[in-house]
Amino acid sequence: MDDAQLLPHTSFNFADSDVTLRSSDNVLFRVHRANLMACSVTFRDMFHVGKETDEAVALSEKSSTLAHLLAMCYPAEDPPVDFSLLASGDILDCYEAAVKYQMWVAGLALRSFVEPVVHMDPFRVVRSAHTLNDSVLMQKAVKATLELDILANAAEYRVKAGITWTSLLEYHFRYKREVTEELLKMQKTVFDARLAGRCYFCKRDISLGYGASRAAVEPWQELILRMVGMRPAAWPRQQLVEYFQQCIGTGSVGDQIPTHCQHCTRNEALASGSSRVYVDTWISLKSRAETYAPTCVFKV
C-alpha cells in the first residue's frame, strides 16, 4: 500500500519530522531521528550508517506497541505511560520491542511490570523469553506453568506458548513422572515405618489416625492417590509439609507416636507391638518434602 494512502498516528505526526516509521498494521509515525537515536542503540546504528530517504521504515510491531515505546522517546510531550494499566500481552509486546531495539531505559522500566506477568500469563512469558533468549525469565515462567493443568486449556495455552508448546508438553510429562516416582518412594518409607499398611494385630488395612497433637490426619493412602492424580505437574510441597507437620504435632526427635487401627481397640493395637513409631520418621519426611526438586531440565 502506498504510504500516501496510510493514516498517521494522531500522537506522532510531527510537521518537522525527518523519519517515518510504519507499523505492521499500516499506521505511520512521523517522528525525529534524534529522539530515536537518543533512546535506542539499534536506531542510532541504523541511522548512522543508513542514507536519508523519504520512504517509511517498515517495522514488525503493531501500532499500539510502537506508540507506547515512542512515548518514552518523547517524555515531554505526554504524561508517562502507565504500564500497569496494560494487558499482560501488551506489556510483553512492548518489552520484546524494547529489548529488540536496545532501548535499555524503556526495557528496564518494563521489566518490573513483566515479573508479575510471569504468574498471570506464564505460557505467554515462556514464548517471550524464548524470543529474547532470556534464560532467567524462561526458567521463572516455565516453573510457573507447572502450577497449571496444561491440558485443561490446551488450545489457549498452545497459542500463547507458540513455538515452545511441544517442548512444554514434554517437560510437563517428564516433570510429573519424576514427582510421581518420588511420591511412591515416600510412600514406601511410610509403609516400611509401619505408619500405614496392615495392622499387625488384625491384619487389616490401617492408616494413621492421630499424631502427637491428637489432631485428625488425613489417611496417607487417600492423600497420595489424590496427589498422584493431580493434573498440575508441580511438586505438592505445601500439602505434604502440612500433612507431615500434623503428624509431628508437638513431638520432637526421639519421641514416639501412637498410631491407631480403626478396626481394633486401642489396647489390641498396642498389644500388637507395632502401633508406636518414632517422630523422627515424620520429621525426616517433612524435610524431604520441603527440599525435593525434580532434576529434569526444560529445553526448546
Q: What is the 3-state secondary structure (H, E, C) of the chain?
A: CCHHHCCEEEEEECCCCCEEEECCCCCEEEECHHHHHHHCHHHHHHHHHCCCCCCCEECCCCHHHHHHHHHCCCCCCCCCCCHHHCCHHHHHHHHHHHHHCCCHHHHHHHHHHHHHHHHHCHHHHHHHHHHHCCHHHHHHHHHHHCCCCCCCCHHHHHHHHHHHHHHHHHHHHHHHHHHHHHHHHHHHHHHHCCCCEECCCCCCEECCCECCCCCECCCHHHHHHHHHCCCCCCCCHHHHHHHHHHHHCCCCCCCEEECCCCCCCHHHHHHCCCCEEEHHHHHHHHHHHHHCCCCCCCCC
In the chain, ranges of CATH 3.30.710.10 domains: 3-120
What is residue 200's predicted lDDT score, i.e. its pLDDT? 59
pLDDT means per 10 residues, the chain with 300 residues, are 74 93 95 95 86 82 95 77 89 96 92 94 97 96 96 96 97 96 89 61 59 54 85 93 83 60 60 59 92 94
Q: Which of 283, 198, 197, 184 is nearest to 243 (CA)?
A: 283
According to the model, what pLDDT value does residue 82 have?
Answer: 84
Beta strand pairing call for 28-31 and 19-22:
antiparallel
pLDDT at 244: 87
pLDDT at 75: 79
In this predicted structure, what is the pLDDT of residue 226?
87
Q: Is the dihedral of CA 146, 147, 149, 153 positive or negative?
A: negative
- This prediction's pTM: 0.79
pLDDT score recorded for residue 231: 87
pLDDT for the residue 35: 94
Distance of alpha carbon 122 from alpha carbon 130, whole angstroms: 12
Can you give the pLDDT at residue 269?
54
Distance separating alpha carbons of residues 199 and 271, to the nearest angstrom? 11
Contact 169, 150 (CB under 8 A): yes
- Cβ-contact 113, 103 below 8 angstroms: no
User: Amino acid identity, residue 140?
Assistant: K
Query: Is 3-120 CATH 3.30.710.10?
Result: yes
